[in-house]
A = this chain, B = another copy of it.
């Protein structure tokens, strides 16, 4: 792993575990076996590091959107699976993307907000497409989007892929619950097996 990538990985761990403000550059340097000063050969500030971790997480989440294919139900299922996979594989970065970003100050804060907004809008577009095709029945697109993101995001608090529940099982169960919330009947969604 390149030095800079290593720094970002450790920074993601520390920010997500202890919180951004509670993580000092000194501590970061210690975890990297570096002298405090030599960290600055690789990065300019702690805040820049925080934004960089947010960017890495955003990139992973945005890639999920790019990979979605098929009808609205297939896209929604892919979104659920992909989103939960990013959380499972990149827990520290995802935690920073969900929680620690707010400690940024302008203008870095604006970039983080824009990245988060871009992802939200992508999720919203998936739901909107389903509404327009008459597959999803939703009263309020914006609230439905926040609801879906809420249900997915919170898993960072409790889901651990090494636990008894596989990512596959979690994704299927969540996709079923979310599709039903969006007005898709289990019957349609499972292609008749159920009815």
Contacts and interface: CB of A to CB of B under 8 A. Distances in A.
Interface in A106-159: 137, 139-140, 143-144, 146-147, 149-155, 157-158
A97 B98 CA distance: 17
Copies of this chain, complex-wide, total 2
A176 B186 CA distance: 17
Contact of A21 (B22, B146, B158, B182): B22
What are the 3 A-B residue pairs with the smallest beta carbon separation, nearest first? A19-B19, A21-B22, A150-B154
Interface of A: 18-22, 98-99, 103, 137, 139-140, 143-144, 146-147, 149-155, 157-158, 165, 170, 173-174, 176-178, 180-183, 186
A188 to B, nearest CB: 14
Interface centre among A144, A178, A181, A186 (most CB of B within 10 A): A181
Nearest to A144: B177
A178 B180 contact: no
A137 B177 CA distance: 10
Contacts of A21: 18-19, 21-22
A170 B139 CA distance: 12
Contacts of A139: 173, 176
A121 to B, nearest CB: 14
A145 to B, nearest CB: 11
